Structure 1
Amino acid sequence: MFLKSILLAVTVSLASAQIPRPEHSQVGRACGFKIAPCPFDMKCVPNNPYCSELNRCPGHCEFKNQYQSCGGFTPRPHNCGDNSECQDDPRLPPNCGLACDVPGICIPKETHFCGGFIGLSCPEGLFCYDALDGCDPLHGGADCGGICL
């Protein structure tokens, strides 16, 4: 009985450990010095602009594809151009977004769709993100599509 209690305690503590999950943002996470690389849709940017060798200096993770910030509770909110619209950033973990005055990004109106039942892929250089449409593949949504950013 004592051994079962110990095994249960170890199992619970391992299960509750901080494990990187897709819903946690990796933006700003440390990289460089040959430590864990950034996720596939991010790149390691040196903290010092004079560093050209990331194996010898620290850096942080940033998205490979940059989009203009818009909306939000800022002194001078930016508006999007005619070919894009301001939406919550689907690359970040779920939050209340624009509804809570968190800045969004300008998403092109003509985006490619990805994922879904037939598993559409994105053009080279773009990555598939949840479309923030309420469909959740982890909770009953078998045909959830995304957008390529």
Structure 2
Amino acid sequence: MLLQSILLAITATFAAAQTITPAQNQLGRTCGFKIAPCPLDMKCVPDNPYCPELNKCAGHCQFKNKYDSCGGFTPRPHNCDKNHECQDDPRLPPNCGLACDVPGICVPKEVHYCGGFVGLRCPDGLFCYDQLDGCDPLHGGADCSGICL
């Protein structure tokens, strides 16, 4: 019984550790010049198209996976196709999102779930993000699941 409890605690710790939280968001942060690399879910994009060598030139961090923008208070708000739904972007820092007319992203309706007690992992190329549902794995929510984007 004690061994099961220990294994369960370790599994929950690893599940929470693999979820990328908005606090880790560093969108637009400077990279290149052999300085600190971008987080795992981002890539360093050169600032100057004539200098693509990031060891010699500056760049900025961008998300690896792109999703269409939707909703928000824009002159021509975009709608998602039938296989996607418009949601707040869980990759961005906490804000009031669509409720305050901030554009969201088109998230697939059949999304993969990750984290939780089971420690589900995302398919290759996708990253685990908190669902912005009030459950925070870093503040007492041991069984928080996320979505793979």
- C-alpha displacement of 1:71: 0.6
1:79 and 1:22 mapped to 2: Cα distance? 24
Which residue matches 1:60? 60
The one of the two structures with greater contact order (alpha-carbon pairs below 8 A, sep at least 6) is: 2
- C-alpha displacement of 1:24: 5.1
Which residue matches 1:90? 90
Alignment deviations for residues 5-36 of structure 1 (CA, whole Å, 9 cap, x no partner): xxxxxxxxxxxxxxxx8515311000011111
- C-alpha displacement of 1:92: 0.8
Uncovered stretches (5+) of structure 1, i.e. residues with no partner: 1-20
Matched to 1:51, the amino acid is: C
Which residue matches 2:49? 49
**Worse-matched range after superposition: 58-67 or 137-146:** 137-146
Which residue matches 1:116? 116
Matched to 1:75, the amino acid is: P
Which residue matches 1:75? 75
Indicate the RMSD between aligned Cα atoms, in angstroms: 1.3
Which residue matches 2:126? 126
Which residue matches 1:101? 101
Which of the two has greater helix per residue? Answer: 2
- C-alpha displacement of 1:52: 2.0
1:104 and 1:22 mapped to 2: Cα distance? 15
**Worse-matched range after superposition: 131-140 or 92-101:** 131-140
Uncovered stretches (5+) of structure 2, i.e. residues with no partner: 1-20
- C-alpha displacement of 1:87: 0.2
Which residue matches 2:7? none
**Worse-matched range after superposition: 42-51 or 120-129:** 42-51
Alignment deviations for residues 42-98 of structure 1 (CA, whole Å, 9 cap, x no partner): 000001112221011110000000000111111111100000000000011111000
**Worse-matched range after superposition: 21-30 or 119-128:** 21-30
2:90 and 2:84 mapped to 1: Cα distance? 15
- C-alpha displacement of 1:139: 2.8
- Runs (4+) of structure 1 moved beyond 3 Å? none
Matched to 2:85, the amino acid is: E
Larger Rg: 1
* TM-score after normalising by structure 1: 0.83
